[in-house]
Structure 1
Amino acid sequence: MERVRAPTVLLFDIDGTLVTTGGAGRRAMERAFEQTTGRRDATRFPFAGMTDRAIVRMGLRMVGHEDDDQAVDRLLAIYISLLGAEVDAASDYDVYPGIVRALDAAERTADTAVGLGTGNVREGARIKLSRGKLHQRFAFGGFGCDHEERAELLRAGAERGAAWLRRPRSECRVVVIGDTVRDVDAGLAIGAEVLAVGTGGEELEVLRARGASLAVRDLDEPGALDALLG
């Protein structure tokens, strides 16, 4: 008897999963902090898996500034104004192996919604993906402006993906594609499968131990597409 494939929502992380911006996001964030607080050293902590709002809030706290929502919004607006030039100037911007092939395959697969699940705010996501000609390939997403907690923004993305498919969320298979333990934790928290990739630098053994359904070097690895598309 032929297996019935569930309608599938794919939620891709951006940094370390789809593309590397060569540190453009960090440079823009450091410049935004310098303009706002006079301190370029506010963000001397790992960003991996954090949402933009959480990064800004932590940075403000580290330099003793108010970290209310208005302060976060002001600094994020400056960050966005600086990000495009940093991305354009990055000499080592790149789209990771297997990404275009995976997106092509997903677009050809019936009952598959291709979206983002990223800690970037929506405009930051657009800027980072546009250079690689990827932005228009995602119909929806869960973003860092939806929620500061990664699991909640993924939940928002999953709901939007189900709506795009015109199916109840409960009927959909959700797959989170990410490169950090925070991606794995958040995906598992919403009941999703997690396809973890090593392109962001995390050890595959660490991602597997955290509970990833599959951990691969990149999406060119044999079996990755089958796992992605079900």
Structure 2
Amino acid sequence: MKPRLVLFDIDGTLLTAHGSPKIAMGRVLLRRYPDFNFDRDFDFSGRTDPEIIEYLLEYDNREVSDALIADILREFCIELDIELAQGEKPELHPGVVELLTKLDAMPDISLGLVTGNVAEGARIKLKAASLDTYFPVGGFGDDSKYRDDLPPFALERAEKYYGKKFPGMNTWIIGDSIHDIRCAQNNRLRCLAVCTGWTSRENLIKENPEYIEDDLSRIDHIMNLIYDGAQK
């Protein structure tokens, strides 16, 4: 059988970090801009970290530059690490540990990430949730602020790390947002959408995902999708 690569999103797919990222970002922005209007709710599902920072700064009429965004994200990761160490741990979604354990045990399946988190932020969240050992490679928000750009980074790193080639028909993106679905479609990859994030099933279905599940708890069914839906 040809090797398969399964690329997971993090927030809303594997786990929910509750208010920790918002608290950490609030500290950073309010330290820089004491009058920053941070008391607003936005739907950032599927967005990259640099994209989110750019939006917040522009919405609050602040100057924006790539260097500034990078500095803010470095400070954010420090604060996020502190907040997750002291506050509430991330909540794992149903089936996550069981599915990852089963996938990780299969010799023809390799794991990675496609996430809008910058690499350090992803590491911090996954470590806090005890999931960090499953994902040696990925595509991250510090590779590009555009989510559609991330799969090639993940694929290149996966092929180098695992020493295998992963055809598009055997590479999966699993995520909870419309942007995960579009990212898979625009890169001609397989897609499994899950309804554990902040996007309704109805809105996910409108994007025509290849498959959709309420969560990741139907382990055997999802394994069958990954195997039966891929090239032999």
Match status 1:199 vs 2:196:
yes
Q: Distance in 2 between matches of 1:104 and 1:158?
A: 21
Match status 1:147 vs 2:144:
yes
Q: How does 1:86-125 map to 2 (within 5 A)?
A: 86-91=83-88, 93-125=90-122
Match status 1:8 vs 2:7:
no
Q: Distance in 1 between matches of 2:144 and 2:39?
A: 22
Equivalent position of 1:27 in the other structure: 23
Mapped contact 1:42–1:63 kept (Cα < 8 A)? no
Per-residue CA distance 1:97-123 (angstroms, 9 max, x = gap): 111111111112122110111100111
1:40 offset after TM fit, Å? 4.3
Match status 1:156 vs 2:171:
no
Match status 1:84 vs 2:81:
yes
Mapped contact 1:9–1:172 kept (Cα < 8 A)? no
Per-residue CA distance 1:35-79 (angstroms, 9 max, x = gap): 122214286422211100111111111122221111111111111
Corresponding residue SS for 1:200:
coil
My pick for the range that moved more, 121-130 or 25-34, is 25-34
Mapped contact 1:151–1:186 kept (Cα < 8 A)? yes
Q: Distance in 1 between matches of 2:199 and 2:76?
A: 26
Corresponding residue SS for 1:210:
coil
1:23 offset after TM fit, Å? 2.0
Q: Distance in 1 between matches of 2:226 and 2:166?
A: 18
Equivalent position of 2:223 in the other structure: 225
Structure 1 92/83 Cα, relative in aligned 2: closer, same or farther at 3 Å?
Answer: closer
Equivalent position of 1:75 in the other structure: 72
Equivalent position of 2:33 in the other structure: 37
Structure 2: runs of 5 or more not aligned: none
1:170 offset after TM fit, Å? 3.9
Structure 1 190/168 Cα, relative in aligned 2: closer, same or farther at 3 Å?
Answer: same
1:16 offset after TM fit, Å? 0.5
Per-residue CA distance 1:183-211 (angstroms, 9 max, x = gap): 11111111111111111132223223312
Percent of pairs identical after alignment? 30
Mapped contact 2:190–2:210 kept (Cα < 8 A)? yes
Q: Distance in 2 between matches of 1:43 and 1:34?
A: 14
Structure 1 43/140 Cα, relative in aligned 2: closer, same or farther at 3 Å?
Answer: farther
**Residue type of the partner of 2:142?**
C
Q: Distance in 2 between matches of 1:219 and 1:44?
A: 27
What TM-score, normalized to structure 2? 0.90
**Residue type of the partner of 1:70?**
A
Q: Distance in 1 between matches of 2:148 and 2:163?
A: 22
What TM-score, normalized to structure 1? 0.90
Q: Distance in 2 between matches of 1:163 and 1:171?
A: 16
Q: Distance in 1 between matches of 2:58 and 2:199?
A: 27
Q: Distance in 2 between matches of 1:85 and 1:40?
A: 23
The CA RMSD over aligned residues, in Å, is 1.9
Number of aligned residues: 226
Mapped contact 1:24–1:83 kept (Cα < 8 A)? yes
Mapped contact 1:49–1:183 kept (Cα < 8 A)? yes
Per-residue CA distance 1:142-194 (angstroms, 9 max, x = gap): 11111111111122112222333323344761100100001111111111111
Corresponding residue SS for 2:116:
coil
Structure 1: runs of 5 or more not aligned: none
